[in-house]
Structure 1
Amino acid sequence: MARVLLFGRLADQAGWRDRSIAAASLAALRDVLAADDPDLAEALDGPGVQVAVDKAIVRGEAVLAAATEVAFLPPMSGG
């Protein structure tokens, strides 16, 4: 099972910050999340949201192992 972390407004919207979810790939994980909460799935696909797999930002697909950590990061702002 992958450990899924949500930060900022994504965690607020989902109502959770940390969850274990069985998925073999990032696409499969997104499918599980979409089936559970379509509004969250839409937010995760929003502009500026980044995904880190085992603390490295990834773009596109990734294979997930049993102990993989997947973090969804909202857009950053600041000055």
Structure 2
Amino acid sequence: MVLDVLYFAWVRERIGLGRERVETTAVTVADLVAELSAREERYALAFADLKSLRVALDQDLAEFSAPLAGVREVAFFPPMTGG
């Protein structure tokens, strides 16, 4: 499957990209993270602490255990704060 993967805030800064198209065999978000982390050290650093990240699938908040079937877009970002 092919996914559009978006990175925001410090995730984007660590990876050096705001978005990319990824071909993957991942079944869940966690599988996708594992694939991306194995690519290069910059990805591994960005995904080192999943507790400091949130994920959205097709613009809906999701868990890292969520399935990717039917998903077109995955976005990774730090927790949002109010203000």
5+ residue gaps, structure 2, are none
1:28-59 residue CA offsets vs partner (Å, 9 max, x unmatched): 2111111023112215x142x21000111012
TM-score (norm 2): 0.76
5+ residue gaps, structure 1, are none
8 Å CA contact 1:7, 1:74 repeated in 2: yes
TM-score (norm 1): 0.80
| RMSD of aligned Cα (Å) | 1.9
1:69 CA drift (Å): 0.3
1:73 CA drift (Å): 1.6
For residue 74 of structure 1, what is the aligned residue in structure 2? 78
Indicate yes or no: 2:36 matched with 1:28: no
For residue 8 of structure 1, what is the aligned residue in structure 2? 9
- Whole-angstrom CA distance in 2 between matches of 1:59 and 1:76: 15
